[in-house]
Amino acid sequence: MTPFASKNTEQYTYADYLTWDDSERWELINGVPYNMTPAPSLFHQKISGEIFRQLANYLLDKPCQVFDAPFDVRLPAGDEDDTGVTTVVQPDIVVVCAREKLDDAGCKGSPDLVVEILSPATSRRDHKEKFVCYERVGVREYWLVDPQARTVTVFSLGADGRYGRPDVYGDDELVNVKILPELAIELSLVFRGLN
């Protein structure tokens, strides 16, 4: 039985999250738990693996680091300690450039780049709750990868602290990574072999 078999009106924290069954994947957004089970599809894994590969190859021996799910990203609302954090997400891919944000539990604070690969089960949450959350905490670049449309939508944080109009890339284009200006991700490789 999951910890939420009864009515789900309670607000949860990272302290609660740490007690949940490791055989299931969960995210916590503003105190609300979301089950990430079942495991991602084969196409999801191929897309994630290729984006990760291109980022990891570029970042070899550079200060920024790339991580893939499952990797906990704790997003405090203020200066609360871990036990009080009410948002813990597991993005498909994150790039973190500030080493002080990394610890044995993952990342505490805003990553520089977040990549979410859309699926029918997560698309609404990625477009709404996570979008608002990532903008609020200052994620500099937020990518939504759509395997069905074979597109990547890139939101960049403006000087006003908000995401402006996104850039949308098709499956034969290069995505210039704004936080890593010398890197462009080849989408022909990302979407290769998908039917």
Q: What is the DSSP letter of 51?
A: H
Burial classification of residue 156, based on how many CB atoms lie within 10 Å of its CB (0-12 exposed, 13-18 middle, 19 or more buried): middle
Q: Which two tokens stand for residue 138?
A: 């200052």
CA distance linking residue 118 with residue 141, whole number of Å: 16
DSSP symbols for 52-66: HHHHHHHHTTSS-EE
Continuous segment of H or E residues that includes residue 154:
strand 151-156
113-117 and 141-146 beta bridge pairing: parallel
User: What confidence tier does 2 reach under pLDDT thresholds 50, 70, 90?
Assistant: very low
Compute the average pLDDT of residues 43-55: 96
* CB 52, CB 66: distance < 8 Å: yes
> Three-class SS string for 159-179?
CCCCECCCEEEECCCEEECCC
Q: Which residues 6+ apart lie within 8 Å of 126 measured at CB?
A: 116, 118, 144
pLDDT digits (tens, 9 = 90+) for 105-149: 999 999 999 999 998 888 899 999 999 999 999 999 999 999 999
- Is 60 exceeded by the pLDDT of residue 5? no
| Distance between CA atoms of residues 76 and 73, nearest Å | 10
Could you report the per-residue pLDDT of 85-100, keeping only the tens digit for each?
999 999 999 999 999 9
Question: In angstroms, what CA-CA distances link 195 with 51, 169, 171?
Answer: 18, 18, 12
pTM of model > 0.95: no
